[in-house]
Structure 1
Amino acid sequence: MGSRARKTAAAAVGLALLALGAVAQPAWAHKGHQPHHNLRGQVLTTAVAAPFGLAVSGKKVYVADGMAGTVTTTSGKTVVSKPGYDVAGVDVSARKKSLAYTFTNGDHTEAGLIITARGKADVVADIAGYEAANNPDGASTYGIVGGSNACAEEILGGLTGGQATYPGIVDAHPYAVANVGSSWLVADAGANAIFLVSRTGKVSTYAVLPPQVITITDDMAAGLEESFGAPAGSFSCLAGVSYAFEPVPTDVEVDRKGAAYVTVLPGGPEDDSLGARGAVYRIGRSGQATKVASGFLGATDLALGSDGTIYVTELYNGRVAAVRGKKVSTAVKIDSPLAVEASGRKLYVSTMGEIDFSTGEVLSPGSVVKFTLRR
C-alpha cells in the first residue's frame, strides 16, 4: 500500500521494518550450528542486531546496523556511531578515500547522507529537505487505479489511513547508498526514488520507481483477510480491484557500464498473501527504470557479481537468490537474510537478529557470514 500503509501494516524497511516485530532468528547464530545452505559459510561477526547494509573494501567489511545506529567493521572497529538514528546504508568510494552512510531519525524529519574522509570535514546531504521541497513521486498515483467500488474504497482507505487513491507523499528514508565516480546514488525507501548526491552534498533526482500495480484476485482478498485478521468474506469486494502499491527501493548497485540496479519491496503486505512481488529494476543513465527480474519474497538488498550474476536477499524466503539472465536459482539458503555483497568469489550475507521491538531488547544477534562461491 503506501507509506501510510507501511506504517500501519508493518510492510516497509529500516525503521518501518522494526514495526514487523521480532524476525525469526536462525538458531545457528547463537548455538554454534552452521546455517542451512548449499555453500559452506564462515561467520565473521554476531555483534550486530539489524545489519541493513554491507560494504566490502579490500579485506574490510563494513556493516551498517540500523538498530544500533552504527557502522562497524566485522573485525570489531566502530567507524560511525549515531545513536537514535537508523543508519541503514554504507559504501566506500572506489579509491577507498571516502565512506558514505545514510541516516534517518524516528519521524523522518532528519534524513540524509554523510560523506566522510580522513582529514576533511564531513559533507552532509539533506535528503529530507530535498524530498520536502521536491517530492519527486508527487506526480505518481497510488492506491485504487481500476475496478473501484465503495466497499473497496472504505477497506483500502482504512488500511492506508487516508484516501483509497492518493499521490506520492513527502517521506524521506534513505536506505542504501552506492558510489559512482565522485558521486553517490541513494535508494530512498520513503521517497520511492533514487537520488544522486554530489561530492559537495548537492541532491538531485536520478530516478523515480514506478508504482507496483496488481489486480486483486479472490485468493488475494482471502489472503489479506488472514493477514489483517478480518472475518472471512469481508474483503471479497476487493476482487477485481487494480491497486497501485508504492515501490520501496531497498538497495542500489552500479555495474561497470554505469547502469544502476535497484531492489524494491512492492509495498503492502510483504508476506505471501499477495504473492512474491519483490523485483529488481535496471536504471540507465536516462533515468528510465526497466524490470529485469521479479517474484522475490522480501527483496531487501542486492549485489552484482563480476560475471553478471545479480544476487538478491529474500528476507521472507530464507535465501539469497541468483539471477542469471531470465533464470532465478538459489545461491544460499539462510534464515532472515538482510544484505548481500559480492567480491570476487566471496559472497557476504548479513542476517537479522531477533528483537523485541516493543522493548528494543535484542533477544539474539544477527550475523555477517562469508561464503565462497563455486567456480
Structure 2
Amino acid sequence: MKKSSPALAVLAATAALGLAASPASAGGRHHPPSPPPAPVAGEVTTVADGLNSPLSFAVGRRGTLDVAQSFIGLLTRVTGGGEPEVLAAEPEGYGVAGVSRARGTTYYTAGIGAGTYNPETTIALLKSVDRDGNVETVADIAAYEFAENPDSINTYGFEEALPAECAAQLPPTLAPAPYTGLTDSNPVASLPSRDGVFVADAGMNALVLAGYDGSVSTVAVLPPIPFTVTAETAGAFGLPECIVGLTYSVEPVPTDVERGPDGALYVTALPGGLEGAAPGSVFRIDPATGVTELVAAGFFGATGLAVNDNGDIFVAELFGSRISVVPAGSDTPELFLEVNQPAALELRGDALYASVDALAGAAPTEPSTEEPPVAEPPAEPAPTAASIIRIELDNNCGRDHHHGGRHGHTGNGVRDGGEED
C-alpha cells in the first residue's frame, strides 16, 4: 500500500460465481437457471475472546483456531474456548497476519517496516509452523518486491499533475501528480495450494505464489480503481473543491484471498488513500492467466472474505461494522449481519467464523493534556478486547471453501494442498 489514511495505516502496520442449474420442466420447456437462496445468519456464539487485533485466523479440526494477534506479533492457538497457546512470537515491533492451514502446517506472514519503501528496514516473510512446533521461513516476500516491484506497471493518482495551488490543499494521502507503483511489502493473507502458498500483499498491490522451495512469482497485479470525485464526496471528506470532477486512480490494496467453487481466486481490496470515500472491492483472478475482473464493489473497509460452494461471497467490512454477502450471480452486496469491526472471515462446515471488535484496544492514542469533555456515558461500554464468533448458516447448501480446507481445483490444474486438520 503506497498511500493511506491514518485509519488504514493502523491496519497496514500489522503485518465465476456459481449458479445452480434447474432441471427441465415436465412439459419439456427449459427455464433459465436460478441461484439458490442466499445464506441467512442464524445463532451467533463467541468461541474465543480476550484477543488483541485478530486480523487473520484459520479454523482447524473441531473448531481449533490459529489466530494472528497482529499488533503484538503473536500467532496463537485457541482450542475448545480455552486460553490461547503461543505457536510463534515475533520480535517486538513486528506484525503477524495471513494465517492459513494445510496438512497439519500453519502458515502466517510476519514483518516490519511496511510503508518505509526501504529494503534495509522492510522485512516481510511467509513462515510456517509444523505439527511439532518448528517455525521456518518459507519465502522472503519483501525481497521479491524490492527486486521486481510488480505493480510498477500501474499508474495511480490524477490523470495530470494538479496546479500548485490545488495540490497544496490535498490531504497527505493523495498524490498531486500521477505515479507508478512504489516498492513496499506488507503481506496480509495466505492460501495454500499444491505448488505453493498464494500470498496477498497490501504493499505490493499484487497476489504472488510463494513456492515451498522459497521461490516467489507474480500471479496477478490488481488494477487501479478509478474514482471520480463529486461535490458531495468532497464535502463529506474534506477534499478541496478544485478536484471535484477529476478522476483519481486509486491503489487496489489487497486484504484477503480465497478460492471459489469455480477454481478462481477471490480477493478483497481497500481503496488506498480514499477508503470511506471510494468503495472497497472484490476481484476474481484466474490463477493460470492472472486475468483479473471486478466482481462487486461498494464495501466500507473490505478486509476479509469467504466463498461457499454456491458462489456466495461473504465480505467483512471493518469500517462499516457489518458483514455483507454478494449472492451467487449478483454483483450487489447485501447485509448479512451487523457486527462491530469485523476483520477476518472463515467458513467451516455450516458456520461462518468472524473476528469482531478487531481494533478494540489495539491502537492506543497519545495521552492528552487537555481536560476531557463532560459527556453522558455510552449506552454500552466500548469493547476492550477482540473476539471470534461463530455464525450458524441457513440456506448454505454445499461444502465450504476456507484456508487450507478440503481439496479443490485452483483453476490451473493444481489441487489444494490442504486437508482436514
Aligned equivalent of 1:198, options 170, 195, 211: 211
Distance 2:41 2:311 in 1: 21
Q: 2:285 is matched with which residue?
A: 283
CA positional deviation for 1:357: 2.5
TM-score (norm 1): 0.83
TM-score (norm 2): 0.75
Q: Residues 64 and 359 (structure 1 numbering): CA distance in 2 closer, same or farther, change over 3 Å?
A: farther
Map 1:22-41 onto structure 2 (within 5 A): 39-41=42-44
The CA RMSD measured in Å over matched residues stands at: 2.5
Q: 1:55 is matched with which residue?
A: 58
SS of corresponding position for 1:313: strand
Aligned equivalent of 1:123, options 131, 137, 146: 137
CA positional deviation for 1:17: 7.2
Deviates more, 1:83-92 or 1:281-290: 83-92
Q: 1:252 is matched with which residue?
A: 257
1:92 matched to 2:101? The reply is yes
1:67 matched to 2:71? The reply is yes
Distance 1:358 1:17 in 2: 16
Q: 1:144 is matched with which residue?
A: 158
CA positional deviation for 1:39: 3.1
Question: What one-letter code is carried by the residue in structure 2 that aligns with 1:40?
Answer: E
Aligned equivalent of 2:384, options 359, 364, 367: 364
Aligned equivalent of 1:173, options 186, 193, 197: 186
Distance 1:269 1:161 in 2: 8
Distance 2:189 2:68 in 1: 10
Question: What one-letter code is carried by the residue in structure 2 that aligns with 1:74?
Answer: V
Q: Deviations over 1:48-84 (max 9, x none)?
A: 1110112122222211110221122232222222143
Q: Residues 218 and 146 (structure 1 numbering): CA distance in 2 closer, same or farther, change over 3 Å?
A: farther
Question: What one-letter code is carried by the residue in structure 2 that aligns with 1:266?
Answer: P
Map 1:296-335 onto structure 2 (within 5 A): 296-324=299-327, 325-326=329-330, 327-335=332-340
Give unpaired runs (5+ residues) of structure 1. Answer: 19-36, 227-234
Q: Residues 118 and 110 (structure 1 numbering): CA distance in 2 closer, same or farther, change over 3 Å?
A: same
Identity of aligned residues (%): 35
1:11 matched to 2:16? The reply is no
Q: Residues 161 and 147 (structure 1 numbering): CA distance in 2 closer, same or farther, change over 3 Å?
A: closer
Distance 1:364 1:208 in 2: 37
Distance 1:152 1:194 in 2: 35
Distance 1:64 1:205 in 2: 25
Task: Answer whether contact 2:261 2:310 (CA < 8 A) is retained.
Answer: no
Q: 2:346 is matched with which residue?
A: 341
How many residues align? The count is 339
Q: Residues 97 and 257 (structure 1 numbering): CA distance in 2 closer, same or farther, change over 3 Å?
A: farther
Question: What one-letter code is carried by the residue in structure 1 that aligns with 2:109?
Answer: T
Distance 2:166 2:158 in 1: 9
Q: After the TM superposition, which segments of 4 or more aligned residues of structure 1 sit over 6 Å from their partners?
A: none
CA positional deviation for 1:155: 3.2
Distance 1:137 1:52 in 2: 24
Q: 2:169 is matched with which residue?
A: 155
